[in-house]
């Protein structure tokens, strides 16, 4: 007897009703308390970048090709939002929130063609409630735009090879350029594709229609031409075009194992486990889309872990892989609907509700307890501002952020030696965060802790240690270090 009950099937237009409801859910979660949380330091960088480079037409033209290399779509849109509504936590984050919401219908269309409508709807539901995606949708940063464009870039490659349509490679390189404009971490697209093609060649998979020498050469031609031109330019002038935009490599700050653990918690451990075994099952079935998504999910975290001992990398660089983890988990749920007999719907619903319950618990902590997973810099600086007197000095591990809320000069902690602090003959307010305080000058940290009074302490309930402390040092009251 055919099962006449289906939660997601029905008339063809029903998929769009479900998609609209999921998109509305995503919108509600991303707009809720959008402006309530204090800025953190990286958001100040975005604001300064947007205002100094894209706040009017003249600046916009000066900072786009051919004058500058990149077209950072999210920053340009953020500048226009702040022009319209002024600079605030809400307006600065509006672009990220809107892009986060539009990601749902935008990704549904290609995913429904790759994995089917039901799997795509489940994936979009999981993405709508994803705590990691909600967090970056409520940040004045580029991550939601990067993830969306990065995902579309890989989808375009997939369709080009699967359908033997080499003209898709034009769209691929346009999207790849826009993703690189958001952040150079998008370059991980290339190793994902290289590893996928290598596995496709070495493993006993049926080859897609587009996997032929002509298409591979057409796809690789722009990369080869770019590398040759950069080599020629360096030989002729001693300079590069795009490589000159690479930032200096910063020293590592964490261990590879701890980095992978934080990435796992950010994705969601239950979802990651389901996605991993679902991906392994798709690979075992010789499913090419499964192999491609499994590679795109696993490779970015692995690459980050390999780079971690040598350069500065953090867990948020793996955010580009989130969609692929979520789609693999949705595929696993879809498999449960087809292999678990008469109770398949109840079992599949049980797993779905377990994933939704895990995401809901994280989101409740995010909204109600953890202040959007951000330290309360606005409140901390306000506390200092209410109590400081004329002549008082403010020192902080995040001086640009403290200056934004204080509206006055703040000294950068890591620029000060103990001798510098000794020379200040006015009361000093220290607004310090961890890990910033430990990455500054250790001797100055010891000086502050021995002489200054700790007035306020707050922390976040997250996987990483994240605290905010306020100290006050009065040279009149404290003549010698406490014992």
78-132 pLDDT, tens digit each? 999 999 999 999 999 999 999 999 999 999 999 999 999 999 999 999 999 999 9
What share of the chain has pLDDT > 90, as a percent? Answer: 75
- Which pair of structure tokens corresponds to residue 190? 């290339």
Closest among 180, 181, 211, 205 to 193, alpha carbons compared? 211
Q: Residue 341 pLDDT more than 70? A: no
Residues 375, 378, 384, 386, CA torsion sign: negative
pLDDT digits (tens, 9 = 90+) for 414-463: 899 999 999 999 999 999 998 766 666 788 999 999 999 999 999 888 77
Residues near 449 by beta carbon (within 8 Å), at least 6 away in sequence: 471
Per-residue confidence (pLDDT) for residue 361, from 0 to 100: 94
What is the b/e burial string over 138-177, where b = at least 16 CB atoms within 10 angstroms of the residue's CB?
A: bbbbbbbbbbbbbbbbbbbbbbbbbeeebebbebbbebbb
What is the average per-residue pLDDT within 6-35?
A: 86
Structure tokens at 16: 């769009």
Nearest C-alpha neighbor of 37 from the set 180, 176, 173, 135: 135
How confident is the model at residue 1, as a pLDDT?
A: 38
Q: Which helix (H) or strand (E) holds 418?
A: helix 418-422
pLDDT value of position 440: 61
Model pLDDT, residue 236: 81
What is the pLDDT, as a whole number, of residue 441?
78
pLDDT digits (tens, 9 = 90+) for 159-213: 999 999 999 999 999 999 999 999 999 999 999 999 999 999 999 999 999 988 8
Whether the predicted pLDDT of 245 surpasses 80: no
Out of 51-60, 101-110, 178-187, 231-240, which region has the weakest mean confidence (pLDDT)? Answer: 231-240
Residue 464 pLDDT? 73
Taking the C-alpha atoms of residue 299 and residue 295, their distance in angstroms, rounded to an integer, is 6
The answer, yes or no, to whether residue 226 has pLDDT greater than 90, is no
Handedness of CA 268, 272, 273, 275 (dihedral sign): positive
Q: What angle do CA 8, 11, 12 make, to 5 degrees?
A: 90
Residue 303 pLDDT level (bands cut at 50, 70, 90): very high
Q: What is the mean pLDDT of residues 314-322?
A: 95
**What confidence category does residue 347 fall into, taking pLDDT thresholds of 50, 70 and 90?**
confident
3-state secondary structure of 459: strand
Task: Measure Cα distances from 70 to 63, 110, 170, 470 in Å.
Answer: 8, 26, 18, 40
Quick one: average pLDDT of 380-392? 95
Mean pLDDT of the chain: 90
Question: What's residue 67's pLDDT?
Answer: 84
């Amino acid at each position: 007897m055919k099962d006449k009950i289906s939660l997601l099937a029905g008339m063809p237009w029903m998929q769009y009703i479900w998609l609209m409801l999921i998109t509305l859910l995503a919108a509600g979660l991303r707009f809720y308390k959008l402006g309530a949380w204090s800025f953190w330091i990286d958001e100040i960088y975005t604001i300064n970048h947007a205002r100094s480079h894209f706040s009017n037409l003249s600046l916009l033209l000066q900072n786009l090709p051919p004058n500058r290399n990149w077209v950072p779509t999210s920053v340009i849109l953020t500048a226009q939002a702040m022009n319209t509504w002024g600079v605030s936590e809400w307006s600065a984050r509006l672009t990220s929130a809107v892009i986060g919401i539009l990601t749902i219908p935008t990704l549904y269309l290609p995913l429904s063609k790759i994995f089917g409508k039901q799997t795509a709807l489940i994936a979009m539901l999981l993405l709508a409630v994803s705590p990691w995606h909600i967090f970056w949708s409520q940040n004045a940063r580029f991550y939601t735009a990067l993830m969306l464009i990065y995902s579309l870039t890989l989808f375009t490659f997939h369709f080009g090879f699967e359908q033997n349509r080499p003209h898709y490679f034009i769209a691929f390189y346009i999207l790849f350029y826009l993703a690189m404009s958001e952040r150079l971490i998008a370059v991980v697209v290339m190793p994902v594709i290289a590893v996928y093609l290598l596995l496709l060649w070495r493993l006993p998979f049926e080859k897609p229609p587009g996997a032929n020498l002509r298409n591979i050469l057409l796809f690789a031609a722009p990369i080869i031409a770019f590398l040759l031109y950069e080599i020629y330019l360096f030989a002729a002038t001693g300079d590069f075009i795009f490589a000159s935009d690479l930032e200096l490599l910063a020293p590592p700050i964490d261990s590879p194992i701890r980095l992978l653990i934080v990435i796992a918690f950010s994705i969601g451990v239950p979802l990651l486990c389901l996605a991993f075994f679902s991906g392994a099952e798709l690979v075992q079935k010789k499913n090419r889309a499964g192999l491609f998504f499994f590679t795109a999910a696993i490779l970015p975290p692995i690459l980050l872990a390999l780079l971690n001992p040598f350069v500065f990398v953090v867990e948020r660089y793996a955010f580009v892989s989130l969609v692929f983890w979520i789609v693999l988990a949705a595929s696993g749920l879809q498999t449960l609907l087809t292999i678990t007999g008469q109770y398949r719907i109840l079992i599949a619903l049980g797993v779905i509700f377990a994933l939704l319950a895990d995401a809901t618990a994280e989101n409740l902590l995010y909204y109600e307890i953890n202040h959007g997973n951000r330290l309360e810099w606005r409140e901390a600086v306000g506390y200092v501002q209410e109590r400081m007197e004329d002549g008082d000095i403010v020192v902080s591990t995040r001086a640009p952020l403290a200056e934004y809320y204080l509206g006055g000069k703040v000294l950068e902690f890591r620029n000060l030696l103990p001798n510098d602090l000794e020379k200040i003959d006015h009361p000093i307010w220290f607004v310090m965060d961890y890990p910033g305080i430990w990455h500054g000058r250790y001797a100055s940290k010891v000086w502050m802790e021995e002489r200054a009074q700790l007035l306020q302490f707050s922390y976040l309930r997250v996987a990483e240690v994240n605290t905010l402390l306020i100290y006050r040092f009065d040279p009149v009251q404290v003549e010698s270090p406490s014992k």
